[in-house]
Amino acid sequence: MPFVKESYYIDKPIKSFLFLIKKFNLTQAQAQRFISKGRLIVDGKPLLDKASIVVGDVEIIKFKPITKGIKPIFIAKDFAIFDKPSGVITHPNTMATDYSMLDEIRYYFGDNANATHRIDMETSGLLLASLNRDSDKFLKLSFEDRKIKKQYLAWVKGRVEKEFIVEEPIKIRDNYSISKHKVEISKDGKYAKTYFRPLKYNKKLDISLIEATPYTGRTHQIRVHLFHVKHNIIGDPLYGTEFNIAKLYLEGKLSKKDRLEATGANRLMLHANKLEFSYINIYKILSKVNFLKGELI
């Protein structure tokens, strides 16, 4: 388990967040988040008051990374790139999560390394990791400011003959009683734009390999935009399936056989294959990074 308890003895009274800052070299914000997540234990219970005084025996719930052999495919001074497999989440959802890509990132690069963005569990492909706090801040802001360009490959149903753009607003659903879609096209949603370009057509299977470039970063953007134009992604258990199939998938009860029959594949056939960005390191040297990796198979 990545999260483990370790015991510590504090010989002099000190504010809880100051103890964490001094003991583990955290920033004040990091220490306060640590406490708010219930990872400082006193008398067997999480201590949630960030300014409380602690002394004597305490327990700390620490993240201890494990590896399953997923090595970085590119390493620079301040960042690294991993090729995330389908089926692995990026960050742990809770302290009960037994494995995520954060394990691999911190196994290789230490506690200050971090995933700078999220890739859906079932999507495979390029995951950018920061190796220190300065690069983490820079890269996360670059994603927020849309300065990092991402590109995806997807196998979709039907024949796509020419490039096209979907520019439809996306809203997160608040009612799953009729549909299990996490998001939907809605005039009340946030602006979203995706460019699609066909690469290959398989006549026998009636499926197309396409390139997808999102200009915005909405949840499930590529998936719902393709579903909207009736070219849903092969293997997608949510968009383009019957309600019962989506329900079984979300409950973890959908068999591989039934999923294959319903969606055409046992994984979402979506792959993050390209990252492009400019990076300024701590010495203010500007470098252009254009990383292209892999095909979707």
**Distance (Å, whole) CA 33 – CA 87:** 28
DSSP string for residues in 74-127: EE-SSEEEEEEPTT--SS-SSTT----HHHHHHHHH-TT-EE-S---TT-EEEE
**Distance (Å, whole) CA 107 – CA 268:** 27
**Distance (Å, whole) CA 147 – CA 149:** 6
Q: Alpha carbon 277 to chain centroid distance?
A: 18
Q: Which residues pair with 182 in a beta bridge?
A: none
Q: Which residues are catalytic?
A: 120
Q: Phi, psi at residue 53, to the nearest 5°?
A: -90, 135
